[in-house]
Structure 1
Amino acid sequence: MHVSRSGLRRSLALTLPVALALTITACGSSDSTGEASSAAFDTAALGTPNKATGSPVTIGVISEGKGQAVDQSDEFRGAQAAAAYANEYLGGIGGHKVEVKVCEVRQDPAMATDCANQMVTAGVSAVVEGTLAEVDQTIEVLTPAGIPIIAASGSTKAALTTPGYFSLFNSLSYFGVPAADGKEQGVSKAVMVVVGVPGAEGPARDVGTLLYKNAGIDLEVSAIPPGTADMTPQITAASADEPGLYHVFGNESFCTPAIQAIKAVDPDAAITAIAQCLSAAGAKSIPGGYEGVHVVTTSDLDPEAEDTKLFQAVVGKYGDGAKESVITGSGYSPMLGMINALNAAKITDVSAKGVTAAMKSAPATNYPLGAGATFTCDGKQMPISPNVCSSDGIIASATADGKLEDYQLVPSDPELYSPAS
């Protein structure tokens, strides 16, 4: 299959909204697989106080907030907690105290446009976004005004191509990480079991097939309609070519029967899945639970990791009741990552123009909760897009009951994310 750079970008335009939809569904469940331990936090992890004493700099945060379908309010709290921590322990941004202006979208594109206009009126120096579905509406307003957008990840066409948008984490890791994992295991054939809706199946066939090909793996995409209770016939058909790996891409209600069927039909094959697949309820209905499944995730919440200890301490002290979860992390990580990058760049001009320039010149910076992943926003990290600042990823192992452990960094591999020539 030949996929041009422009064609690939059109396919990628669907990827982030799909991931968001899956995340929203997973967050509505009662399991705790996406949370760190709630043990008492250690204030020593915060380090030595270093208060910001300079004039304030305003950073906007645009998030879904609390809507009819989902409550992402902890994303705000995570970003605000990171800013408060920076003001007391990191000297703010270049010595300037960070003031946070928030605006919630509530899954409404018109409100996203309104939020962006509010940020322009307020004269913010940058806008932080976590997992915003309405990113295109904010790009349309903010980038012409010269206000940079610092996102956890974004992969719409506008996010991939518009100058002034910075995606700190690898937004294509849902496809790239399992391909890299399969390559590491010596797999030559794989099956991606994906929920059969256009927004998921299309990118799986175009983007997924390309990235697996770059990893030296022949990929078959098995798209199965949502709501299919017994996937044995589809998995039996897919197993005929003797794949060494199955990658499951969907939400918990889709992934549970998929993993059940894979374990029954092809028990010796390796299984990877995205984190949104896992739940406590699913673990109970799968023979052997999730034992042995490798899981693609965007946050390392290993309670023994120093990064997680800092996250727990920051959220515990400044989080206003936020959970130590992936949702909170999706606000915390881009805010703290941006602040660390700007300070590493020794920023002196904290205007929007100065922030944009400093983000581009900053050295490699650790992405908070990224298992050691780094980002560099010099436009050279991802051949597919100059706006993606990292091609690192994270993979973890699942326990039988769906908890994640043994988080591992999947190092940057630009060749994996290269478009077809």
Structure 2
Amino acid sequence: MRRPSFTLAAVLSAAVLAVAGCGSDGSEADTEDPASDLDGPPIKVGFLNPSGGAVPQPGADTGAAAAVDYINGELGGINGSPIEVVTCDTDTTPEKATACANTFVEEGVVAVMDGFNLSSSATLPALTAAKIPLVGMIAFDSVTGSAAENRVMFGAPQASFLVGAMQAFKQTGKNSVTLALVDTPSSHQTIDVLLPALAGALEMEAKGVYFSPTNPNFTALAATIAKDDPDVGGLVASPNEGACTALVQGLRQLKYDGTIFTAACTDYIEASPAEAAGGALYSSVWLPAAMDNAPDEVKADLEAAEKAISAVEGGTGGFYAYGEFAQFVTFAKALEGVDGEITGEVVLSTLKGLKDFPSFLGPKISCDSPTSPNCTTEMLLFEVQEDGSIKAVGDNFLQPVPEVLAQIPGAT
């Protein structure tokens, strides 16, 4: 029985699925293939692995690999059938995403899992024509997130994270923000359009700045942010954990004492809890650093995810690992009990039919919106504690202002 292929230093599988045009450099491990005990026909899905280009998302492949072993080993697959993954590496360009989509169509996958890609919309023409849905957590491509056709995103839209965070900052007396984003075409919608509109709606002062995707200077960026001494300064989104660490260090060296907003980064907290304390970060799912402060019903799932992700030899943790893990597991759980053959059309109709469904590590989701691919608008905003743990503002998921989200295409 064939197993998924992942571009990792080592993957927990007994064999590698080699697919032309797709990543297939995983190395063999001694661990028994969890799918070997499952006798149902494999359910093949594609995975857009954001491994290359100017803005890779390290950890997404780790989360996917861990999730496949967890689904096949701990959950018994999907109705007794193993999930099998065809991986294709992307580099943020539409051309590569299109090539991956064509490969997935040729391979006959029943869904494509989006790993936080900036050009995922380039896959939609080929996938839609083949009736293969695109399934993700957060649509990092604003075009993907602007309509509901043939796509499902289990997390909130990008706008929710910015709206929810700024809403919470405003409620705690913070009235000015300076936020940075990597300078890519999709970023300008956020910095040039969304941020000013949101600031006006919340009666806040807001400034957006860019940094180079190929040669970022975080010392200079820290100086730019600290210059006006805003109540909140930091990153709307981060290209990697190292960017957050560098920016936090730069801001603290400049004696900036406002709230440092670090997108979804977490590694910098463990590296230097004292510098991180008082900062804030967002997430679509519960993260291990929140274990002590998470609701009791979440802790068992967090422990299971942490165990599976840490078992991936040479893997990378962090938000993208846990977000991707949650995405795959929610997908598998949603398809439990489906009668008959699972096709792309069956996957899409099943996911679109979810109503108040408990997502893995996330909120209850409903995916039936005719105007948005997102199954929720709720998000988590964490505050970094002095001991290095993180605590959710309001102790759980936040609901951004619906009136503000309604002004953003595809958000609701």
Counterpart CA distance in 2 for 1:115 and 1:198 is 21
Q: Corresponding residue for 2:126?
A: 141
Deviations 1:315-364 (A, max 9, x none): 355x3553443332243121111112222x74544111011000011222
| TM-score (normalizing by structure 2) | 0.71
SS at match of 2:334: helix
Where does the alignment leave 5 or more consecutive residues of structure 1 unmatched?
1-48
Query: How do 1:110-125 and structure 2 match up within 5 A?
Result: 110-125=95-110
Determine helix, strand or coil for the equivalent of 1:117.
Answer: helix
Indicate conservation of the 8 Å contact 2:359/2:365, yes or no: yes
Contact 2:365–2:375 (8 Å) recurs in 1: yes
Q: Which residue of 2 aligns with 1:227?
A: 217
CA distance in 2, matches of 1:231, 1:70: 17
What residue is the counterpart of 2:81 in the other structure? 96
Report the Cα distance in structure 1 between the residues aligned to 2:376 and 2:343, rounded to whole angstroms: 25
SS at match of 2:180: strand
Secondary structure, counterpart of 2:278 in structure 1: coil
SS of 2:129's partner is coil
What is the match of residue 211 of structure 1? 198
Point out which structure has higher relative CO (alpha carbons under 8 A, 6+ apart).
Answer: 1
Three-state SS of the structure 2 residue aligned to 1:392 is: coil
Preserved contact between residue 125 and residue 351 of structure 1 (Cα < 8 Å)? yes
Would you say 1:390 and 2:379 are equivalent positions?
no
SS of the equivalent of 2:375 reads: coil
Q: Match for residue 333 of structure 1?
A: 326
CA distance in 1, matches of 2:75, 2:109: 20
- Say what the alpha-carbon RMSD is for the aligned residues: 3.6
Report the number of matched residues.
350
Contact 1:273 1:295 in 2 (8 A): yes
**Normalization by structure 1: what TM-score?**
0.70
Q: Say if 2:181 is the partner of 1:177.
A: no
Out of 342, 358, 365, which is 2:335 matched to? 342
User: 1:4-403 residue pairs with structure 2 within 5 A?
Assistant: 53-65=39-51, 67=52, 74-154=59-139, 155-161=141-147, 163-172=149-158, 173-187=160-174, 189-194=175-180, 197=183, 199=185, 200=187, 203-214=190-201, 216-221=202-207, 223=209, 227=217, 229=219, 238=228, 245-246=232-233, 248-249=235-236, 251-252=243-244, 253-258=246-251, 261=254, 263-264=255-256, 267=257, 270-276=259-265, 279=268, 283=272, 289-302=275-288, 304=291, 305-316=299-310, 319-343=312-336, 346=338, 348-370=340-362, 373-379=363-369, 385-399=371-385, 403=388
Q: Sequence identity, in percent?
A: 19
Equivalent residue number for residue 407 of structure 2 = 419
Superimposed CA distance per residue, residues 252-295 of structure 1 (whole angstroms, 9 cap, x where no aligned partner): 3445434555x54xx4x5553423497369959xxx61221222
Deviations 1:101-120 (A, max 9, x none): 22222445433222211111
1:91 deviates by: 3.9
Kindly indicate whether the alpha-carbon contact (under 8 Å) linking 1:150 and 1:165 is maintained by their aligned counterparts in 2.
yes
